């Protein structure tokens, strides 16, 4: 094997180098200079993100266990951008709360390890690599959810996350063992050729789907979501809802469209039911939430239901729309979480009631929040509209008109509760509004990037064409 | 391979083990017991992999290798879960689910 071929793993190697560098920096850094680790980590990750945009050839390594192509590479860049925005938004929280407890470096190491797991997961070429990537992406996040060790709710969130994800991966493994029994191989390339729609493979595929559905928080498996989001630190909640969910959706999509394609009649019906249940339950429960974090948790469950509309299509169009929607969702949801984090850091307030009269005191923040919520709801000028529109087109092109109708009903419901927050910010008056405050530089950059993304992505059509072209890689 | 025992009996055992694990996960009231139930599920799939490999595809070792990785990862998972449970125990002096639950619906 030529040493050059390892450069296919360029993204993984550079992220691993960052992790090691941070560990070394932690050892040699003077005790009173610990706060500069945040700047160092953000700088290194920014360089890593920029380098990631360089093109990469299609290839596979280790006898097909690791593979990469245009779409996978593109999606890794999406994850990179998401994590970079998230780091910028949580820099102040880290400086004030975490570095003072001398836990700054561990935060970055755990976060980057989890991202490394996601890289391996989405470019896995067999079930073993997939499983290892899945676990590597989940375990550090559970540790991060329990990161505020003095906070009881944080520990509760951690234990709920680790137990439900352990159950999920166990169920998923049981499904994989059944797929292995029918095909005699754990490599995707071999399984594709040998798999047929028998009862055993159907059961295996269903169990496997259940395991990944936990990570995406689809409805029968969504119980941990709201509790974990509420208890965990806000940056971890947004990581779970954006990055972790995006990576799981991506790998689920690839596996359904390639490996489990012969079972399409099984998972079609399953996804139909799950999509309807996810949209309705996510939206109806979001109506009665008072805490912003729980509110965003249920809204993210509902958004996962919309993503399934692209999955059910099972075509190149479906694949392109899902990736495009996830890209937009990264920006809109990170903007919403960013505002919640900024307000929570300054005032400690997280209730929707506390947001009343925000426009009078903090007009910029409330504008960002409004754009984010409009994008999540899918109101035309902003990017979210185009994402949802394309997803519905993909489902309708395969003849799922009734499902699209139900989805449109759900968009209407979701509009109501998103506008409740907007009304609280813009129309309501409050005797004790959140006082004016100025965000620090990192937070401001993070929010500005998300706003640019929300405004530009929907109108810049070459991007969608590019994604559509790339997704041809999997549909030959 | 065990003489006199076919793959059917062994797979029945692992299926039963799996469903005991799922049942335990749902019904147990103690965090440690929930953790043990999860281990049962993981071990059911470990045995599944080994048995399928040994009885059906004995010329390749993919299933056995997979099971070794599962065992290693399960150990890491347990260590993390136990450390979070200990942290929780320091704060509320209990590992019962009903004492821990503060966030609902």
Q: Enter the ipTM.
A: 0.93
**Please, which pLDDT band fits residue A360 given cuts at 50, 70 and 90?**
confident
Nearest to A163 among B34, B44, B76 (CB): B34
The CA distance from B75 to the nearest CA of chain A, in Å, is 11
**Percentage with pLDDT > 70 across chain A:** 99
**Taking CB atoms and an 8 Å limit, are A174 and B44 in contact across chains?**
yes
From chain B, the residues in CB contact with A135 under 8 A are 73, 76-77
Give the CA count within 13 Å in the CB-facing half-sphere of A288: 5
In this predicted structure, what is the pLDDT of residue A147?
A: 87
A182 lies within 8 A of chain B by CB: no
Mean pLDDT over residues A44-70, rounded?
86
Separation CA A466–CA A88 (nearest Å): 28
A143 lies within 8 A of chain B by CB: yes
From chain A, the residues in CB contact with B25 under 8 A are 163, 167
- Interface size, chain A vs chain B, as Cβ–Cβ contacts under 8 Å: 115
**Please, which pLDDT band fits residue A471 given cuts at 50, 70 and 90?**
confident
Mean pLDDT over residues A7-33, rounded?
87
Q: Give A218-263 pLDDT, tens digit per residue.
A: 888 888 888 899 889 999 999 999 999 999 999 999 888 888 888 8
A31 pLDDT above the threshold of 80: no
The CA distance from B88 to the nearest CA of chain A, in Å, is 6
Mean pLDDT over residues A312-334, rounded?
89
From chain B, the residues in CB contact with A120 under 8 A are none
In this predicted structure, what is the pLDDT of residue B32?
A: 92
In this predicted structure, what is the pLDDT of residue A475?
A: 58
- 3-state helix, strand, coil split of chain B in percent (to 5) is 80, 0, 20
Nearest to B102 among A153, A158, A159 (CB): A153
**Please, which pLDDT band fits residue A34 given cuts at 50, 70 and 90?**
confident
Report the chain B residue with the minimal C-alpha distance to residue A134: B73
Nearest to B91 among A135, A152, A227 (CB): A152
In the predicted model, what is the mean pLDDT of chain A?
88
Question: What are A187's strand-pairing partners?
Answer: A126
The CA distance from A472 to the nearest CA of chain B, in Å, is 31
**Taking CB atoms and an 8 Å limit, are A166 and B38 in contact across chains?**
yes
Chain Cα centroid distance, residue A131: 18
B105 pLDDT above the threshold of 70: no
B24 lies within 8 A of chain A by CB: no
Is residue A332 within 8 Å of A303, Cβ to Cβ?
A: no
Is residue A419 within 8 Å of A427, Cβ to Cβ?
A: no
Secondary structure element (H or E) that encloses residue A67, with its range: strand A66-68
**Taking CB atoms and an 8 Å limit, are A162 and B80 in contact across chains?**
yes
| Residue B3 φ/ψ, nearest 5 degrees | -65, 135
Q: Which of A54-63, A83-92, A327-336, B33-42 has the lowest mean pLDDT?
A: A54-63
A347 lies within 8 A of chain B by CB: no
CA torsion A30→A35→A36→A39, rounded to 10°?
A: 160
Separation CA A411–CA A408 (nearest Å): 5
Mean pLDDT over residues B11-21, rounded?
93
Report the chain A residue with the minimal C-alpha distance to residue B42: A170
**Please, which pLDDT band fits residue B74 given cuts at 50, 70 and 90?**
very high
**Taking CB atoms and an 8 Å limit, are B41 and A152 in contact across chains?**
no
Mean pLDDT over residues A295-313, rounded?
90
**Taking CB atoms and an 8 Å limit, are B62 and A185 in contact across chains?**
yes
CATH code at B7-93: 1.10.287.3510
**Please, which pLDDT band fits residue A6 given cuts at 50, 70 and 90?**
confident
From chain B, the residues in CB contact with A158 under 8 A are 84, 87
Name the residue ranges covered by the structural domains of chain B.
7-93
In this predicted structure, what is the pLDDT of residue A1?
A: 62
A203 lies within 8 A of chain B by CB: no
Mean pLDDT over residues A63-82, rounded?
89
- 3-state helix, strand, coil split of chain A in percent (to 5) is 80, 0, 15
pTM score above 0.90: yes
Q: Which residues of B57-82 are buried (b: 16+ CB within 10 A; e: fewer)?
A: beeeebbeebbebbeebbeebbebbe
Task: Identify from B8, B25, B36, B66 which residue to disrupt to test chain A contact, counting A C-beta atoms within 10 A and taking the largest count.
Answer: B66
Residues 208-227 of A with CB under 8 A from B: 226-227
A440 pLDDT above the threshold of 70: yes
Task: Identify from A126, A138, A159 which residue to disrupt to test chain B contact, counting B C-beta atoms within 10 A and taking the largest count.
Answer: A159
The CA distance from B16 to the nearest CA of chain A, in Å, is 12
Which residues, 6 or more positions from A311, have their beta carbon under 8 angstroms from its beta carbon? Answer: A249, A252, A253, A256, A271, A318, A322
B104 pLDDT above the threshold of 70: no
């Amino acid at each position: 094997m030529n040493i050059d071929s390892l450069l296919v793993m360029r993204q993984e190697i550079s992220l691993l180098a960052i992790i090691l560098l941070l560990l070394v920096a932690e050892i040699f850094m003077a005790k009173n200079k610990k706060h500069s680790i945040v700047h160092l980590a953000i700088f290194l990750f920014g360089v890593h993100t920029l380098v990631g945009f360089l093109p990469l050839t299609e290839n596979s390594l280790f006898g097909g266990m690791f593979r990469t192509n245009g779409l996978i590479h593109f999606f890794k860049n999406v994850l990179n951008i998401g994590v970079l925005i998230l780091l910028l938004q949580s820099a102040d929280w880290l400086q004030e709360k975490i570095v003072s407890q001398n836990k700054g470096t561990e935060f970055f190491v755990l976060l980057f390890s989890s991202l490394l797991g996601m890289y391996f997961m989405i470019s896995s070429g067999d079930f073993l690599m997939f499983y290892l990537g899945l676990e590597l992406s989940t375990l550090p996040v559970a540790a991060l959810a329990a990161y505020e060790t003095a906070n009881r709710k944080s520990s509760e969130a951690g234990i709920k996350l680790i137990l439900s994800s352990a159950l999920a991966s166990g169920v998923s493994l049981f499904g994989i063992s059944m797929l292995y029994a029918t095909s005699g191989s754990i490599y995707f390339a071999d399984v594709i050729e040998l798999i047929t729609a028998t009862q055993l493979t159907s059961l295996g595929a269903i169990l496997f789907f259940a395991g990944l559905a936990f990570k995406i928080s689809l409805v029968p498996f969504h119980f941990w979501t709201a509790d974990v989001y509420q208890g965990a630190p806000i940056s971890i909640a947004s990581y779970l809802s954006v990055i972790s969910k995006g990576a799981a959706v991506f790998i689920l999509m690839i596996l359904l469209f390639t490996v489990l394609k012969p079972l399409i009649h099984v998972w079609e019906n399953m996804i139909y039911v799950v999509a309807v249940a996810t949209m309705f339950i996510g939206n109806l429960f979001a109506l009665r939430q008072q805490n912003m974090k729980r509110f965003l948790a249920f809204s993210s469950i509902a958004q996962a239901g919309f993503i399934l509309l692209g999955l059910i299509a099972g075509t190149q169009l479906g694949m392109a729309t899902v990736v495009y929607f996830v890209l937009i969702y990264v920006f809109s949801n990170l903007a919403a979480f960013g505002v919640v984090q900024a307000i929570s850091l300054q005032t400690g307030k997280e209730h929707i009631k506390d947001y009343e009269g925000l426009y009078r005191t903090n007009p910029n923040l409330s504008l960002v929040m409004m754009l984010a919520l409009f994008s999540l709801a899918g109101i035309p000028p902003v990017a979210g509209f185009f994402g949802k529109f394309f997803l519905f087109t993909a489902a309708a092109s395969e003849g799922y008109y009734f499902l699209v109708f139900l989805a449109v009903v759900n968009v209407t419901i979701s509009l109501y509760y998103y506008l409740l927050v907007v009304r609280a910010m813009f129309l309501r008056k409050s005797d004790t509004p959140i006082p004016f405050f100025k965000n620090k530089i990192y937070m401001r950059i993070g929010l500005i990037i998300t706003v640019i993304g929300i405004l530009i992505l929907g109108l810049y059509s070459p991007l969608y064409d590019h994604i559509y072209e790339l997704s041809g890689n999997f549909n030959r | 391979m065990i003489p006199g025992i076919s793959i059917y009996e062994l797979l029945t055992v692992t299926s039963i083990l799996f469903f005991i694990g799922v049942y335990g996960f749902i019904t147990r009231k103690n965090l440690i017991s929930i953790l043990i139930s999860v281990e049962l599920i993981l071990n059911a799939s470990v045995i599944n992999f080994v048995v399928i490999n040994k009885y059906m595809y004995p010329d390749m070792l993919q299933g056995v290798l997979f099971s070794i990785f599962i065992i290693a990862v399960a150990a890491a998972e347990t260590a993390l879960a136990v450390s979070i449970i200990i942290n929780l125990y320091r704060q509320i002096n209990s590992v019962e689910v009903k004492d821990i639950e503060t966030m609902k619906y």
